[in-house]
Structure 1
Amino acid sequence: MGNKLKAVVVGAVLGVAGAAFAQGTPTTPAAGKADAKAPAKAAAGKAAATAGKTEVTWWGHAAFVLKTPGGATIAIDPWFTNPKAPQGATWPEAVDAILVSHGHFDHVGETKALAQKTSAKVYGSFELVNLLGLPEAQGVGANAGGTFTVKDATIHLVEAVHSSSYQADPKAPSQYAGAPLGFVIEIANGPTLYHAGDTGAFQSMALIAEQFKPTVALLPIGGHFVMDPPQAAVAAKLLKVKTVVPMHYGTFPALAGTPDALTTELKKTRATTKVLALEPGKATAL
């Protein structure tokens, strides 16, 4: 995003998210103002967890936390202070890996703070990981084609069609942050997930389908910066997935696509792909 547009977007975020985002801190309730719904939300998350299943929690926008049957906890694009993030939620206490699709602020999010808190390794493009200034032991810079193993999860870095720049200092120019990425996560005794990152539909999604055979795709549907619902329906067809989890919608006015619109577009193609619209903060077993 350009600096001018970023200023507009950040202004909108501040209006919705308030001081928690401005300070870049976890969205935990202030003293004396505990979220009355927090116990119910926690209970809902526990109820969704199923032994031996892969569990995914959407934090709004493109942010997810994935837990595998083998005990791996993986955070993806952890902008945990976005306007759709679950109110009163605390950050994961333990994270094994953080995947960052590209350098824009709404995807890097709280990567550095989460890495510092959990000692997790951060996986992303070579240029972006270097710009983040992480300890050498934690930064894993790579590119499309790279494959890494985290406990029972095998993570493949794949291409995305987007742009990528990183601005560590709001007063300094943005810097080139390498090529944007998507992630295919193969889970032993579990599903294969594809997090597309920010992207439009592209023909090589058919190659991703052929090579990795993902069953669940986390696809952006908001439009403007990413795919809209008609394009996401095309992507689902190319990927041959059973389930699409919509993401990157509704955070800002420009991201106008909806899960219902995606369902309508899939019906037009007579696809059997199902839309699984997640509730922010609710753990869902796959």
Structure 2
Amino acid sequence: MQVTWLGHSCFLLRASNGIAVLLDPFDEEVGYPLPDVQADIVLISHEHTDHNNEKAVRESPLVIRKEGLHSALGIEFLGISTWHDREEGRLRGENTIFCFTLDGVRVCHLGDLGHLLSDADVKAIGPVNLLFIPVGGVYTIGARDAFAVMQQLDPDVAIPMHYQTSALSFELEPVDDFLKGREYEGPLQSLTLRSQGLQEDRQKRRRPSGKVVLLRYPGERGAGSID
């Protein structure tokens, strides 16, 4: 499975059979280059314009935007209802966490999570190979809570998202706060994950909560890739 960050909380995941899943596409006001992609399935964590621009996708993808169990193109998607803030949605409304398996890799995208996870949330999410986690604070969890959520879920790989960059048109905390004092790989243009490799890494890893991988958005300088 190939993972590409398009900016903010938007990622394109492409399976070995060609199926493409797009997560949380943004609109032109966010500041990043508007995604111009083809995708078979689009997941939308909540109805804010920096996360719900399904029109960025060419043609007509299948769109999933609710909690519950959904099946599309042979893939099961689990949507878990959470909150965009610490006050049960009174400030910013609801948020949906999406979990699914692609190429044998268990993926969890936290959307704009605004609080630590409950025991019920952790149980519903289950084992995680690849975690997309907001770290920029202000509207979501920040660096400290993001690290706590990583400890709750113990992913093999965590990719930070929803943080300040030179492209972003509004203000968040930088990713540096999350990376401070922590080992990480990158920044990379893309990441390729294989389930067997993740299993081998888990057996021999020493650090808690797996490894952090930093990705670059389109147009950002100094790109590389890793398998």
Matches within 5 A, 1:100-111: 100-109=44-53, 111=54
Aligned residues of 2:27 and 2:56 also touching (Cα < 8 A): no
Asked whether the 8 Å contact 1:159–1:181 carries over to 2, the reply is: yes
- Please state if 1:240 is matched with 2:188: no
1:55 matched to which residue of 2? 2
Larger-Rg structure: 1
Cα displacement (A) at 1:202: 2.1
For normalisation by structure 2, the TM-score amounts to 0.72
TM-score of the two chains, using structure 1 as the length reference: 0.58
Give the % identical residues.
25
Tell me which protein shows more strand as a share of its residues.
2
Gap change, CA 1:205 and 1:71, over 3 Å in 2: farther
Instruction: Say how many residue pairs are matched.
Output: 190
In the other structure, the counterpart of 2:59 is: 118
Residue 9 of structure 2 is aligned to residue 68 of structure 1: no
1:45-91 CA distance string (max 9 Å, x none): xxxxxxxxx111111111111111232111111116332348xxx61
Contact persistence 1:209–1:240 (CA under 8 A)? no
Q: Tell me the SS of whatever aligns to 2:50.
A: helix
Gaps of 5+ in 1: 1-53, 126-142, 164-176
Tell me how far apart the structure 1 counterparts of residues 15 and 108 of structure 2 sit (CA, whole Å). Answer: 15
Q: Deviations over 1:146-204 (max 9, x none)?
A: 222333532110123216xxxxxxxxxxxxx97321111212x4311111000123233
The answer for the alignment partner of 2:32 in structure 1 is 84
- Preserved CA contact (<8 Å) 1:71 1:151: no
Please list every run of 5 or more consecutive structure 2 residues that lacks an aligned counterpart in the other structure: 86-91, 184-206
Partners of 1:206 and 1:217 in 2: how far apart? 18
What are the equivalent positions in structure 2 for 1:2-13 lying under 5 Å apart? none
For residues 119 and 22 of structure 2, the distance between their equivalents in structure 1, rounded to whole angstroms, comes to 23
1:104-151 per-residue CA deviation (whole Å, 9 max, x = no partner) reads 111113x1352xx321111113xxxxxxxxxxxxxxxxx2xx222333
Question: CA 1:59–1:113 in 2, change beyond 3 Å: closer, same or farther?
Answer: closer
Q: State the partner residue of 1:24.
A: none
SS of the aligned residue for 1:249 comes to coil
